[in-house]
Amino acid sequence: MKVLPPEVEEILAKFRLNREQLQEISEKVEQQMKMGLAKTQGSSIAMLPSYVPALPDGTETGKYVAIDLSGKNLRIMLLTMNGAGTTPTHETVNYIVANHVMKGTGDQLFTFIVNCLQRFLQEFGLVDANLPIGFVFSYPCELLSIRSARLLWWTKGFDIKDCLQRDIVALLEEALEMNMSTKVSIKAVMNDTVGQLAAAAHKYGPECTIGVVIGYGCNSSYLEKTSRITKFDAKARGYDHDNMIVVTEWEEFGKHGELDDILTQFDREVDAASVHKGKQLIDKLCGALYIGEVVRRVLSQLVLDRVLFEGQSCEKLDEDESFPTKYISEILGEEEGVFKACRRICEELEVEMHGTGDYIIIREVCDVISRRGASIVAAAISALLRHLELSSVKIGVGGALIQFHPTYHQMLKEKLEELTPITMKFELVPADEGSCQGAALIAAVAERLKL
């Protein structure tokens, strides 16, 4: 067992969550989920109806297009499916959204999307094919139907005032009408968690009814019985399906103080420096956008305490975002006792004197903070499993941390086994097909069900 200096142990003890703490978090999550299904306001977990009534069943055939707008990237995919027992094929093109478009007008943004779509269809000789489209739009929206979403506010660097409170599908359809010589039809709009769940369900079959994204932030979606979404008046909305995918929006859990007991001074500093102070606390404790910053602040404190680098200062560590989350992945990707990545990172941080003792501490800080994030996600997933009361389920997990963090999947699995009742059988399956493919699949589901 590693013997760490007492100053290091004292700080890391605040990040180590025991089973009772995690169980308490999990119970609070379940309580907020149930409230979110019953009420439109008051819960820190919104449980948003998606209007998507079913997941792909593998029988889908034909060509479908997906448009995925996420930050600076616009992805367009052509997905070709040949029915049960076959693997879909796809062609994807990425387009970069210019800064002036991200902060311009709605007309500029949707004209840009339509121009990219036209170029894409021309490239594949599909201008006259009248293909169905699934649209991934991962910004806070109020969904009004499977084809209608009112934008509440922008995130990820966008700031286009004249789109707020507007139906983004209607804006896209207007731009299509104005600019395109081809006919396409928008079949569904969704956020990335719904797309990822659809892609995982297509790959792993009907047991896969939960999808969790652990990327820059953390969110989930799952297949729910419509009758349990008691805040949703299905009859008034003309919704006559037994099931619906619900987007939890659990990244907001904690905004009512539910996580105050476990927040460290470092978490509070990260929150205070963020754009959305007091919001999206799950993202700040678990997401790839923030955990590198938490590690940086801990290491900076250990330098100040003269525990690291023989008491020498390290100015770089005092700079925001100078310890990106990819450093954590590189450090934990090496076998224990191997410190090549750690040595290189210390040099990149312009540390003059560093040695094995420093590397052991840095590695342990990365491990403990990663483990805390995975533990909180496991607590949230176990709450969802208890709510669903399924005897067996496959959980599609994807996102940057699952993809690139070498120990995250295993940490998540271990904690989930610890927190989930023995009677429930679960399997964590990698959902690496992504939301773009899922959007095309949801368009296919909408066609099949004649939505």
Residues designated catalytic: 75, 138, 192
Q: Is the dihedral of CA 198, 223, 136, 252 positive or negative?
A: negative
Task: Burial-class residue 161 by CB neighbours within 10 Å (0-12, 13-18, 19+).
Answer: exposed
Phi and psi at 397, nearest 5°, equal -115, 135
What SS3 class is residue 349?
coil
- For residue 86, what is the enclosing H or E element? none
- Residue 141: in which H helix or E strand, if any? strand 141-145
Strands 185-190 and 132-137 turn out to be parallel
Question: What is the rounded distance in angstroms from the CA atom of residue 414 to the CA atom of residue 34?
Answer: 26
- Contact criterion met (CB below 8 Å) for 342 and 357: no
CA 428 to CA 412: how far, in whole Å?
9
Q: Which residues contact 264 (CB under 8 A, 6 or more apart)?
A: 14, 15
Q: How many CB atoms lie within 10 A of CB 244?
A: 21
DSSP string, 102-131: HTS-HHHHHHHHHHHHHHHHHHTT-TTS--
For residue 37, give the nearest of 232, 241, 252 by alpha carbon.
232
Task: Label the pairing between strands 425-430 and 48-49.
Answer: unpaired
- Residues 6+ away with beta carbon under 8 Å from 347: none
The two tokens of residue 428 are: 């964590």
Question: For residue 128, with 0-12 CB atoms within 10 Å meaning exposed, 13-18 middle and 19 or more buried, which class applies?
Answer: exposed
Residue 151 parent element (H or E): strand 148-151
Compute the C-alpha angle 256/260/264, nearest 5°.
145
Q: Own/partner pairs for 125-131, CB < 8 Å, 24+ apart?
A: 126/63, 126/78, 127/181, 127/182, 128/182, 128/183, 129/63, 129/182, 130/182, 130/183, 130/184, 130/185, 131/63, 131/64, 131/65, 131/78, 131/184, 131/185
